Structures are given as structure tokens and as C-alpha cells.
Structure 1
Amino acid sequence: MAEKSERAQNEEKILEFWQENNIFEKSLKKESPQGEFVFYEGPPTANGRPGIHHLLSRAFKDVIPRYKTMRGFHVRRKAGWDTHGLPVELEVERELGLKSKKEIEEYGIAKFNEKCKQSVWKYKTEWENFTERIGFWLDQENPYVTYYPEYIETLWWIVKQVYEKKLLYKDYKVVPWCPRCGTGLSSHELAQGYQDVKDLSVYTKFKLKNEKNTYVLAWTTTPWTLPGNVALAVGENIDYVKIKTSKSSEASKSSEASKSSKSSKSSKSSGEFLILAKERLSLIEGEYEIVEKMKGKDLIGLQYEPLYNFVGENISGPEKDKIKNAYKIYGADFVTTEEGTGVVHTAVMYGQDDFELGNKVGLPKYHLVNVDGTFKKEAGFLAGRFVRDEETAVEIIKDLAKRGLLYKKEKYTHSYPHCWRCKTPLIYFARDSWYIRMSSLRDKLIEVNNGIHWEPEHIKEGRFGEWLREVKDWAISRERYWGTPLPIWQCQIGKSQILRPRRIRLWRTNPKQILNLKSKILNLAANGQ
């Protein structure tokens, strides 16, 4: 074993002196004329070992309380353990060989949660030794633990305050969704998992009704959303053109390959008409002639033939009446000419802007995709396929080409969100979630930030300031098993109620009673009851 350096030996001597003389404890007893400075450590999860990257963050955490202690404050430095959440569940899933929520429910939710509870203390001793060795002063004898009743009770109290301030609400809208973990993510979780990927992008032709051989050209980097298309969006003040092409698209080439050369020549000479933004004409291959110019507002209201009939054939109930609003062109302020064609294909269930436009103009809502990211049986030839597989995109492209609706395809490199824990590509997916209305607090957040001294200073108006200016409502609910239960009881007709003080007292005096009730409810749900 290598000999310890002189620096390491000196560090150990200092640590030994601190421990033998109870220096940390004495720092808590000294006079504190400045009062309290509250420090609760952002807690680690002890089901994973500490790493070198934890040293840097803990050094910063240690510096501020030391400084405040020297300035005359009383700083308790309370340690904590993060014992709930997806990271814990994923680790237990790996240990048990479980690969989906269905397998967890077959294994048993109560048994799974008990395994999670046991796993969170796996490396507790290593964390405590690590904390002491790096000289991070913490009260490790009296930590807060996130699965303890008193901690959960505190969270329930906070949720109740949020509810009473009318900042808590439930809504059905598009969220970043992990198909592997089966849960939505918040906006700040989303920001942690972007990766550069190369996807197949598609230029698709949407045939206008009542106009011979005329198509609106739209581009997407998510071909799997095309079966759910219900509208097209244009910018009202963007300049558009209708062009006559002299060169067959990839789709035309494919569909004409089986025809006679005479028929093929006739098709090429007649060409086809395409509508797209004037600024995006550079994407057109071969020669073309501009036959008409118009503004986006001139296109609004035009109808086109459905790319697929999956939605129209299967939708029922109140949403079916909205089919009359589908397969039309609408104006939208999110349309740009920076990329694509200046026309946005709209699938309301799989895009945030799409969903908001759908609510505004009354577009039908119908899911063709399961929560595990596979197509439903209603999606015909795509049934059972995982939406993010490249083979799925290839099948859609082949189908479009066969029907003469593909203009061209190409690989496109872009930054795409992935689950910050399991690394699965996320999908945008319409789902019920509970939210805290952070957008209504935006001005107050910015005001508070303006009074903070930042180091380095550029973060204040830069990364952090930009985030505050665009702050989104916070999706706080997760559709998982090992976590703090939301204190919201909801009946079948949709009315909800926040946990009352009497139930909070019940939690304090007999937490197992509520936990057992939660377990029974989850097991009933898992068994379809």
C-alpha cells in the first residue's frame, strides 16, 4: 500500500484533534450574537457510494456555514438522508431484475417498497466516514430522513399551504414523459438530461382538399408523431409561396418505379405544387417555379386530407365532435422560419405548443401511444412498436413514400431530452399531473433574485436569471411507488381534498394506518379494481 503523503497525514492529525476536543460541538455552544443561520444539508442517497464529485459540492457546503459561524451566527449544520425517489427505485429494480412498472406490480408494491426502504442505508457508514474524512462538519447523530413520519408531515403541511394560496392545481397537459420509468418529469429534471442525437427527420406532403396535386410541406424530427397529426400551423405574417416543381420527390420516385416509363415521364412533366415559407425555398431539390405568393393568414382555414385515419376512426365521446375542427390550417405564434418549412405539423397529444393550440381551437384529443411508449393497436401497422426506435421511423417513412406523401428524409443532429436517471429518450405526452403555479410567482422570484449577491456575477442575469424569466409551473406528482404520498384524496367524480389536520395527527400517532391504506389502494389499482 502506498505511503500517505505529508499533507494527508497532517489532515488526519487535524481531524483527530477536532474529534478528541469536540471542536464541532463547541462551535455550536459558543456565543452567537447574530442569531440563527439555518443549514440543512441537501441530502445524499445512501444506496450509492460517495464519489470524488461529491467532494467539490460538499466543500462549498462547508465553507458557508464555517464563515457564518465565524461571523457570530449559530449554525446547526443538520445532516439528512434522501430516502425516496426514482434513483432508489431504479437501483432496486436492477437488484431484483425488474424492467417495468408492470413487473413491479406483479412482484408486489408493498414488497418492492420494503426493498427500497432497506436499500437506502446500504452505504450509510461509507458516507459518514467520507463526511468526517473531508472535514465536513455535520450533525450526523440527529439527521432528518425523508421517509420518517415527521418529515412527510412537514411536506404535507407545505402542500396544504400551497393549496390554500390557490397555487396547487391538477391539469391534463403535455409533460416530458419517461416511457421506461412510467412517469412525468418536471422542467428542472428535464434540463439535466439533454444529449446530442442523430434522428431521421421527414419532409411530409399534406394534400390540400379541392386543389389538384397541391401539397403543404411540413418537417418533423419526430416521425412517430405523424400518425397523431390533426392540424397544420403557419405564421400569420410569414411569407409563403406556392411552387410548381419539375423534379419528382423521393415519394414520387418510389411510387413511379413500378409504372411504365411513359407514365413516369408524364408525371414528371406535370410536376406537383408545394406550399412552404419563402425563406425555406433552399430545401427544394431541382428546379421550381413560383406560381403564387401569399401570407400565412391567407392559408388559415384551408383543409387537407388526413395523413392517417387512426384518430378519426377510433375517437369517441365528446372528443369525436371536435373532428370537424381537425385537418385544417391554423395560425400560431410559435411558427418560425429558422428551420423546417415554416409549417408545423400538429399532434396535440405529443407536443406542448401543439396541445395549447389544440385547446385554443378545439382540436380532438386521442392517444395512439401507450404509457410505455409503444403504439396502441388502433395505430394499425405500427401497433406494438416503440415510438423512439429508428425502425419505427423507417416504417412510417416507407408508408409515406408508398403513398406518394414523402418529399424527402434526412438525418438531423439535435439536442434531445433523456431521462436524467435511466437515460431513456423522453417523449412529450399528454397526461394528468399536479402542478404548483410557479408562473404566478415569476415577478416575485425575479425581485428576490435581484437582491442576491452572486459569484460569479454573470449567473444572476445569465443562466439563473433566464430560467426565472421563463419559469414554468412545477409538475410535482410522479406516477411511481417509493415516494412521499401526495396528501390529496380524490373521489371518482374528480373532486379533491387536501389532507385535514385530523388526518395529519393520525399520521403522527399511527403512520402505519395511512401507509397500509395507501398500500391497499395501490394494490387494488394494480389489480385493476
Structure 2
Amino acid sequence: MLKEAGQYDAKSLEQKIHKLWDEIDAYSRVREQRVDGKKFFFVDGPPYTTGRIHLGTAWNKIIKDSILRYKSMNGFHVLDRAGWDMHGLPIEVKVEGVLGFKSKKDIEKYGVGNFVAKCKEFALSHRDEMTLQFQNLGVWLNWKDPYMTLRDEYIEAAWWTLKKAHEKNLLERGLRVVNWCPRCETAIADSEVEYSDVSDPSVYIKFPVANEENTFIVIWTTTPWTIPANIAVAVHPSFEYVKVRAARNEKEEILIMAKELLKNVLKQGRYQKSEILETILGEDLKIEYKAPLGHKVPKQNTFPHNVYMADFVTAENTGCVHIAPGHGIDDFELGMKYKLPIFCPVGPDGKYTAEAGEYKGMHVREANKVVLDDLSEKDLLLASGKILHRYGHCWRCKTPIIYLATEQWFLKVTDLKEKMLEEIKKVKWYPDWA
């Protein structure tokens, strides 16, 4: 006999199921029944305990729960310890917000020990709240004995791993240019950088050629703040470059740039007349130039400034690339190749150090206008505008990143690459292309 279904009340049904599971201790009984089955070991990729769960974390746990239930229903003894990520900057940034901190200096005033204790308190309180939320979704995990990254058992395992890497000569400290968050004052992995559209300067700058009156190499950049750290100019060895006599407002000067880009550069600079004097292959551009901001950054006058060859130069903008080895990944590699000074006059807080001369104490992004004004005063600013482009931000605090040459610890993965590739072949990946 058919019975007419009543109104579906999701909340009421959910409460009944949870009550039943609690009364009969369903989770523990199912696990006990499977204890002799083949083991299925699950590692919970842990969420940060920074607040309430959201759709992403809910979806993540529901998918995992579905797979674990499937394995359990097929007789597997599922080892399913829950996990919580309770250390690192995501927690710190949240606590800094609660305490009203603006910089790392505030943490020092508050006391590092006090701050760590506050972070632990914050992480543990949100763990309890998030556990209840996941349980309300019906997720079955070992919630009573989760692994937590703030516990010694986890921290000691991380140190043990580093110790083993050190014993195998896989741990090294070296100078590298890295993504850097000046607010968090820490390096950021490439995978942690979030990109969004920002408006930045788009400027063409003239670098005075040494021993050639009124002659300039033209570069383009969106980061004028790196000009105080300029060490070299890169050109492509196989591109054609030109020396062109150009006139605007009845004033003539000789400019050097890629031939293919001449028309656009002259348009940007609003030159009325021009004449090509010489065409040169990039590999033949043996040019020394003067530091454009040597009058503001005295240390710049102690460095030689020359043109170097680089295959990464593209036929865009001017074809001449401003190189600051302390503030760019390609720049750094070029600097190492040619043994150039790795000049980085910027501190971890994103402010110029004493090495930056008159710019000392300025935050780099706030210094863009000052740098451009100083270049304009010396008649070295060919053209200035704005560009809307994708730029990297810290995923934790949303601050625009900078590139900084700093001493960092690295694992020499290249030494393990072949072995890692062999091990990968033994793993079943879902999907196959992963």
C-alpha cells in the first residue's frame, strides 16, 4: 500500500540522524567492525583554524567523507585522524587584526611569548567551533584525537625531517630573490601569490651613456622604486638596435632602443622629428652608462653600469631592460651570470635602507612618485603614464608583494629530482594527468 509522503524537513531529519548516531555511537562501532579489514590510511589535508568553515572547506570535507564511507562500506579499516593547521601567518594575521596591530614592531612591543600564547588560544578556540560545524555536516573522522600542527609531536617531526636533510647535505642557505610581503615581512611561495588588477606607473626612462654627450639608453618599467637599485641594462643579442637623433620642443638628443619599437617610443615621448644614425646588433652594444640616480644614491656611483646580453629580453616597450639584481628573478640570475653586485637597498619592511641614500626610510611603493620627480628634474623621464595590469599580492593580508634578495634556507630538490620522478611512477593519481 502506497503512503503519501509528508513534507520533507531537512533540519528535523538531520537532527534525528545525529541523535541516533550519538545514541548508538555509530562512528566507533563501524570502525570496530572493520578493524580486521585491509587498512586504508587517510591523511587529512588540514584546514587553518582561522574562523568558521566556508563553502570551500565544506566541499573539501564532504568529498573526503564520501570516499572514506565508500572504503568503509567495502570492508576497509579506515584510519581517519582529523587534522588542523594551527601555525603560521594565517593565524598570526588574524590575531594581529584582533589586537589591532599594524606591523611586526607591534608584536615586539606586545612580547613574542605573549603573542604566541594568544595565537594558540585563537587557534584552539576556532578548532572547537569548526569541529562542531564539520560534525553537523555529517563528516565522520576521528575528531577526539586530531593531529594539530602546534603540538610537539608535529613540530618535532618537521625538525626531524630537516635534520635528515641536513645529514644528507640537502639543506643549504643562500641568497635568492623571492616573493616578499613587506607587511608580513616574510617570503611567499609562488603558489601563495594571488593576482589581481592594479594601476601602476608605466614609464620610459633615459639612462645617460658614459662618454657620449646627450646620448641615452631608453628603458621601460612599472616599478620606478627599483631604479635606485639599478645595476645594468639587458638587451637581446640578436635584436637590431638603433641610435636615433630625435627632437622635441626644439631640443635634440640621441636615443638607443630596439629598431622594431622605435615608432612607438618616439610617439610616447612626443618627438616631432627623428633620424636613424646607426643600426647595431644587440651583441655589439658595448655600452657603459651613468647611474640615473647617482646624485640621490651615492653608493650607485661605486658600481660600474654596463649593457649585457640576455635571451629573456622581448621585443616589447624599448627592447632594453632595466636590471636590478636585488629586485627581480631574471635580474638576479643575470647578475649571478655576470658577477654583478646584488644591490638590494630595501629592508624586510619594504622601506629603503641607508644604502638607498636620500630615499632612506621611504616605503618603496610610496616612493614611486618621488623617484619619478627626481628623474624628471634631471630630464631623464622620457614619458610617464599608467597601466592596469595583473600584479601579485600576499594571499594572507592582500598586500602587494615586492621582489627582494634575501638569505633563505633551501632544500636542494634538484639532487633528488630523478629519484622523485621514479617514486611518482609508483603512485596512482586521480585523475591520471595529475
Match of 1:304 among 283, 289, 299: 289
Q: In 2, distance between residues paired with 1:409 and 1:138? A: 59
**Number of the residue aligned with 1:373:** 350
Distance (whole Å) between structure 2 residues aligned to residue 19 and residue 354 of structure 1: 61
Deviation at 1:36, TM superposition (A): 2.1
- The 1-side partners of 2:73 and 2:34 are apart by 11
1:363 aligns with 2:329: no
Paired AA for residue 205 in structure 2: T
1:336 is aligned to 2:314: yes
Distance in 2 between residues matched to 1:343 and 1:165, nearest whole Å:
43
User: How does 1:60-71 map onto structure 2 within 5 Å?
Assistant: 60-71=63-74
Quote the offset at 1:181 in angstroms.
1.0
2: distance between equivalents of 1:280 and 1:200? 20
Q: Secondary structure at the match of 1:147?
A: coil
Alpha-carbon distance in 1 for matches of 2:192, 2:414? 17
Which structure shows the higher strand fraction? 2
What is residue 38 of structure 2 aligned with on the other side? 35
Aligned to 1:199: 200
Whichever residue aligns with residue 176 of structure 1, its letter is N
Pair 1:113–1:73, CA change in 2 (3 A): same
Aligned to 2:266: 284
Mapping for residues 102-501 of structure 1, pairs under 5 Å: 102-190=105-193, 193-247=194-248, 265=250, 267=251, 271-281=252-262, 282-285=264-267, 286=271, 287-299=273-285, 301-309=286-294, 313-314=298-299, 323=303, 326-337=304-315, 339-389=316-366, 392-442=367-417, 452-455=428-431, 460=433
Q: Is the 8 A contact 1:171 1:435 kept in 2?
A: yes
Q: Is the 1:239–1:295 Cα contact (8 Å) retained in structure 2? A: yes
- The residue number in structure 1 matching 2:3 is none
One-letter code aligned to 2:156: E
Identity %: 40
Q: Give the residue type in structure 2 aligned to 1:349.
A: G
How many residues in Structure 1 have an aligned counterpart in Structure 2? 422
Larger CA deviation: 398-407 vs 303-312 = 303-312
Give the AA of the match of 1:430: A
Change in Cα spacing, 1:64 to 1:290, as seen in structure 2 (3 Å) is farther
Aligned-partner residue type, residue 215 of structure 1: F
Q: Distance in 2 between matches of 1:98 and 1:394?
A: 28
Separation in structure 2 between the aligned mates of residue 44 and residue 294 of structure 1, nearest angstrom? 57
The structural deviation recorded for 1:233 is: 0.7
Q: Which amino acid aligns with 1:427?
A: I
Q: TM-score normalised to the size of structure 1? A: 0.74
Deviations 1:352-409, CA, capped at 9 Å, x for gaps: 11112112212123332222111234434433221112xx222211211111111111
For 1:84-131, what per-residue CA distance to the aligned partner results, in whole angstroms no more than 9, with x for missing partners?
A: 111111122222222211221122111111111211122233212111
Q: Pairwise CA RMSD of aligned residues?
A: 2.4
Q: Could you tell me which amino acid in structure 2 is paired with residue 303 of structure 1?
A: E
Amino acid of the structure 2 residue aligned with 1:94: G
Instruction: Give the 3-state SS of the residue equivalent to 1:302 in structure 2.
Output: coil
Secondary structure class of the residue paired with 2:114: helix
Q: How far apart are the structure 2 equivalents of 1:155 and 1:334? A: 38
C-alpha offsets along residues 29-75 of structure 1, whole Å, 9 cap, x if unaligned?
23477732221222233341222332111112212222332343321
Gaps of 5+ in 2: 1-6
- In structure 1, what is the Cα distance between the partners aligned to 2:192 and 2:417? 19
> Partner letter of residue 260 of structure 2?
E
Runs of 5+ consecutive residues of structure 1 not aligned to the other structure: 249-264, 465-529
CA distance in 2, matches of 1:29, 1:310: 77
Question: Shift in Å at residue 330 of structure 1?
Answer: 0.6
Q: Does the 8 Å contact 1:174/1:349 carry over to 2?
A: yes
Q: Distance in 2 between matches of 1:374 and 1:435?
A: 25
Instruction: Summarize deviations over 1:290-345 as a string: whole Å, max 9, x none.
Output: 2221211011x3100111227973489xxx7xx3xx300011122111x3211110
CA distance in 2, matches of 1:449, 1:290: 57
Question: Which residue type is aligned with residue 279 of structure 1?
Answer: E
CA shift for structure 1 position 445: 5.2
Distance 1:311 1:444 in 2: 51
* 1:172–1:240 Cα change, 3 Å: same
**Contact 2:84/2:127 (<8 A) preserved:** no
Report if the CA contact (8 A) 1:347-1:354 is conserved.
yes
Question: Which residue among 11, 19, 23 is the counterpart of 1:20?
Answer: 23
* CA deviation profile, 1:3-23 (whole Å, cap 9, x unmatched): x96233333333333333333
Is the contact made by 2:176 and 2:407 (CA closer than 8 Å) also made in structure 1? yes
Distance 1:107 1:126 in 2: 27
1:199 CA drift (Å): 0.2
Q: What TM-score results when the alignment is normalised by the length of structure 2?
A: 0.90
User: Distance in 1 between the 2:123 and 2:295 partners?
Assistant: 46
Contact 2:236–2:312, Cα closer than 8 Å, also in 1: yes
Q: Deviations over 1:228-249 (max 9, x none)?
A: 111111111122222222335x
Conserved? CA contact 2:297–2:357, under 8 Å: no
- What amino acid is the match of 2:31? L
Alignment-mate amino acid for residue 217 of structure 1: V
SS of equivalent residue, structure 2 residue 94 = helix
- Partners in 1 of 2:106 and 2:35 — Cα distance? 55
Cα distance in 2 for residues equivalent to 1:453 and 1:111: 44
* Structure 1 Cα separation of the partners of residues 37 and 415 of structure 2: 34
C-alpha deviation, 1:179, in angstroms = 0.9
More deviation, 165-174/377-386: 377-386
Distance 1:311-1:356 versus aligned 2 partners, 3 A rule: farther
